[in-house]
Amino acid sequence: MSMRFKLLGFLCTCHVLAVDNTMESYVGYKVYRFTPSTEDHIKLLRELQDAGIDFWTGPSPPGRTSDAMFSPEQQVDLLNKALSSGMKNEVYISDVQDLLDVEKVRTVQAPGEIDWYYYYKLDDLYAHVERLAVENPYVEVIKYGQSYESRDLKVVKISKFCETGETKPIIFIEGSTHAREWISSAVATYIINELLCGTLQERMDQFDFYIVPVGNPDGYVYSHTRSRMWRKTRSINKGSRCVGTDPNRNWNYQWMTGGSSDDPCTDIYAGPEAFSEVEIRSLAEFYQTIGNNVSFVLTLHIYGQKIVFPLGYTRDHIPDYDRYVRLA
């Protein structure tokens, strides 16, 4: 008996050290793919989400798939609840850590140089866009604020001077508002590259572009240094041990409605109030300065082969619904 207690004590010490110094492990985490067929199934999926299950996609309407990640502890009660509901399911990823182990993050070979075969850390992405601004007369990096942890919030403005002096409509693109969605930053920087020296160069004659490579830098850094699956901001929540707000749920329009939670421990926590997060507040304030001229806004997320468009809080259609579907 006393041997056992000693061993536990030893393990605990290790755990505390591990939390402070290394990436969180996802050994034994599984992703299940569910296909709900009834409203009861969807209700159950929503309950699982409220109980802290991390939905990579969904909960989706009947007939569409929802991918949900279960920690080893959650595989005991919550998973059994889902599996015994009669809902169609399959093990989609049998061990999340196996996938994380093959993911490639690279440190830049030369300052400001990146490619699109690897993921890069925040400093490397920022150095890259700053270098573009130095080298290219059409590029300007604008700081529109500072994050909760005092990192710069940056937007890359790409605007080709035109001889007539007429102003162009604006396309606004944002990557990595959800911290862990690294490939969205890769896509944002890829679009910048295509605009400046690739297949999109002619688009600069039609539009000005404002591209935010990393909308949630604190979370992005945290997902590189501590917890790969981190999604939210890193702001402290008063009265809770759980950190962060879902930046995508923190906008003021229909705040805390459909698909949001008031529980700080969930990944879809909408914050104590709309615009509580400085990252979102700053972006909204910046957006006000260009909003009248913006003709298209695209926020990049993973995952799912989807174009998601308004309205998000209700199944009612917007007046332009058919146009959006055609565009998608």
Ligand X SMILES: *[C@@H]1O[C@H](CO)[C@@H](O)[C@H](O)[C@H]1NC(C)=O
The radius of gyration of the chain from alpha carbons, rounded to an integer in Å, stands at 22
Q: Which part of the chain contacts ligand X (CB under 6 A), choosing from 63-71, 126-134, 220-228, 285-293?
A: 285-293
| CB of residue 158 to ligand X, shortest distance in Å | 12
Considering beta carbons, is residue 80 or 167 the nearer one to ligand X? 167
- Please tell me the distance from the alpha carbon of residue 83 to that of residue 314, in angstroms, as a whole number: 28
Considering beta carbons, is residue 68 or 155 the nearer one to ligand X? 155
Collapse the DSSP code of 28 into the 3-class scheme (helix H, G, I; strand E, B; otherwise coil) and give the result.
coil
Structural tokens at position 260: 């949001």
| CB of residue 98 to ligand X, shortest distance in Å | 47
- Please tell me the distance from the alpha carbon of residue 134 to that of residue 140, in angstroms, as a whole number: 8
Do 140 and 157 meet the contact criterion of CB atoms below 8 Å apart?
Answer: yes
| CB of residue 153 to ligand X, shortest distance in Å | 18
Q: Which residue is nearest to ligand X (CB)?
A: 293
Which ranges constitute the DSSP H helices of the chain?
A: 2-21, 39-50, 77-83, 96-102, 122-135, 182-197, 203-206, 217-225, 278-290, 321-327
Region label for 86, one of left (φ > 0), alpha (ψ between -120 and 50) or beta (otherwise): left
Considering beta carbons, is residue 170 or 214 the nearer one to ligand X? 170
Q: Which part of the chain contacts ligand X (CB under 6 A), choosing from 146-154, 171-179, 246-254, 287-295?
A: 287-295
Considering beta carbons, is residue 141 or 256 the nearer one to ligand X? 141
- Going by their DSSP bridges, the two strands 208-212 and 170-174 should be labelled as parallel
Instruction: Print the binding letters for residues 151-170 with ligand X: x by CB under 6 A, - otherwise.
Output: ----------------x---
- Please tell me the distance from the alpha carbon of residue 26 to that of residue 101, in angstroms, as a whole number: 10
Considering beta carbons, is residue 64 or 168 the nearer one to ligand X? 168
| CB of residue 161 to ligand X, shortest distance in Å | 13
Q: Is 294 in the site for ligand X (CB under 6 A)?
A: no
| CB of residue 292 to ligand X, shortest distance in Å | 6
Which of 25, 240, 252, 293 touches ligand X (CB under 6 A)? 293
- Please tell me the distance from the alpha carbon of residue 100 to that of residue 165, in angstroms, as a whole number: 49
Q: How many residues bind ligand X (CB under 6 A)?
A: 4
Instruction: Print the binding letters for residues 118-157 with ligand X: x by CB under 6 A, - otherwise.
Output: ----------------------------------------
| CB of residue 256 to ligand X, shortest distance in Å | 31
| CB of residue 198 to ligand X, shortest distance in Å | 24
Do 112 and 127 meet the contact criterion of CB atoms below 8 Å apart?
Answer: yes
Do 259 and 249 meet the contact criterion of CB atoms below 8 Å apart?
Answer: yes
Q: Which part of the chain contacts ligand X (CB under 6 A), choosing from 100-108, 174-182, 188-196, 289-297?
A: 289-297
Considering beta carbons, is residue 164 or 292 the nearer one to ligand X? 292
Which of 183, 196, 284, 290 touches ligand X (CB under 6 A)? 290
Give the strand order in the sheet containing 30-35: 54-57, 66-70, 30-35, 88-93
Q: How many CB atoms lie within 10 A of CB 137?
A: 9
List contacts with ligand X (CB under 6 A): 167, 290, 292-293
